[in-house]
Amino acid sequence: MDAIILQIMNGLDKGSAYALIALGLTLIFGTLGVVNFAHGALFMIGAFCAVTLSRLLTLSHEVIDETRTDFLGNPLKVDVPYLYDFFGTDVGNVLIDWSVPLSIIFAFPIMIAFGVIMERGLIKHFYKRPHADQILVTFGLAIVLQEVIKYFFGANPIPTPAPAAFVGSFDFGALLGFNANQIIYPYWRLVYFLFAIIVIGVVFAFLHLTTFGMVVRAGMADRETVGLLGINIDRRFTIMFGLAAAVAGLAGVMYTPINSPNYHMGMDFLVLSFVVVVVGGMGSLSGAVLAGFLLGILQSFASMAIVIEMIPGINQVIIYLVAIIILLTRPRGLMGKKGVMEE
């Protein structure tokens, strides 16, 4: 029992990342009908927003510390972040420590702007072209973005720690009456899961509770009619593209403490996220979220030692296997709608 709970929890954080990326992909697909292969790159750019902010916060100048000496006997030069000068050491330290959560505020406008520019500058010209062209141009864009990031940040993963308050693990088992240390779960992964739930909740609330969201949903159902009613649906869809980019970016920001960001992290997630979208059903938002968590949990179950012993290699292929089975038995995916993406 404890093993099962542990695996479910282990699956949740990866599942959250899948769900967030897949949610953005589906948003773009459902509104604009574009297959965005650069979505993984957006995830990566979000992660590097966090890296950038933590570098900006620790931007420092050299100060000579007279009280200490280095190994040659000269006065020691110490790097002092500008933040210490502005806010004092205590506040400065807190700010630096909380750089990853702070990056959310930093990354959100950047990602929105990035998404809007990308849609207006590039994707807009591809609505009338075949899906293959959309895949190809966004694939090319993903390569370019990836290489630009590699040029500025190097090829090595950049460790970006979580705030000290969230380092360590949470003894989840004690809460449920198991022995101590039976089910432990890192705090940050819990934070990530809660964050994902909140973001997903916000997106759904935005779509279902606001007038703007209602119009967007109407546009997803029948773009032409909404346009005929005199509503500028293109502008709203552009904003939705920005929102989808922001969702992917925030997923990337919060993922940095779990996995040190490197320039190809987006591509690694992209392939799986596409599988998630297809399993969930093209164009179905709740399907994408459901499939994201489902596949994340399935993957962590398949990584259990007993399971690997029974079916060797299953942990490597489970997601693809599930995708193949689902696509062949339920061609529209778990919650796919009729008429979406059916040539």
Per CB under 8 A, 129 contacts another protein: yes
136 vs 158 by CB, closer to another protein: 136
Work out how close the CB of 245 gets to another protein at its nearest, in angstroms, rounded to a whole number.
18
- Please pick, from the candidates 76, 148, 190, 239, the single residue that binds another protein as defined by CB under 8 A: 148
Instruction: Tell me how far apart the alpha carbons of residues 336 and 151 are, in angstroms, rounded to a whole number.
Output: 40
Q: Is 151 in the site for another protein (CB under 8 A)?
A: yes
What distance in Å separates the CA atoms of residue 339 and residue 282, rounded to the nearest whole number?
Answer: 10
In angstroms, the CA 216 to CA 206 distance is 10
16: left (phi over 0), alpha (psi -120 to 50) or beta: alpha
> Should residue 316 be labelled a site residue for another protein when binding is judged by CB under 8 A?
yes
What the block records as the tokens of 125 is: 């010209």
Strand partners, 186: 169
Among 75, 133, 159, 209, binds another protein (CB under 8 A): 133
Token pair listed for 323: 């995708």
CA-closest candidate to residue 289, choices 200, 216, 213, 217:
200
> In whole angstroms, how close is the CB of 263 to another protein at the nearest point?
10
| 196 CB burial (10 A radius; 0-12, 13-18, 19+) | buried
How does DSSP assign 76-121, residue by residue?
EEEEEEHHHHHHHHHHHHHHHHTHHHHHHHHHHHHHHHHHHHHHHH
147 makes contact with another protein (CB under 8 A): yes
Indicate whether 278 belongs to the interface with another protein (CB under 8 A).
yes
Q: Of 4 and 311, which CB lies nearer to another protein in the complex structure?
A: 311
The single residue among 79, 127, 324, 330 that binds another protein, judged by CB under 8 A, is 324
Options 8-16, 171-179, 220-228, 274-282: segment touching another protein (CB under 8 A)? 274-282
Contact call for residue 330 and another protein (CB under 8 A) = no
Minimum separation from the CB atom of position 62 to another protein (A): 26
In 3D space, the residue among 171, 215, 222 whose CA is nearest the CA of residue 340 turns out to be: 222
Residue in 64, 144, 164, 202 binding another protein, rule: CB under 8 A: 144
Which C-beta is closer to another protein: that of 140 or that of 227? 140
Q: Which residue from 192, 130, 114, 108 is spatially nearest to 341, judged by alpha carbons?
A: 130
Taking CB under 8 A as the rule, does residue 131 contact another protein?
Answer: yes
User: Sign (positive/negative) of CA torsion 190, 28, 106, 260?
Assistant: positive
Of 9 and 270, nearer to another protein (C-beta) is 270
For another protein, give the closer residue by CB, 100 or 141: 141
Using CB under 8 A as the criterion, which residues of the chain lie in contact with another protein when the complex forms?
Answer: 35, 122, 125, 129-133, 135-137, 139-141, 143-144, 146-148, 150-151, 267, 271, 274-275, 278, 282, 312-313, 316-317, 320-321, 323-324, 327-328, 331, 341, 343
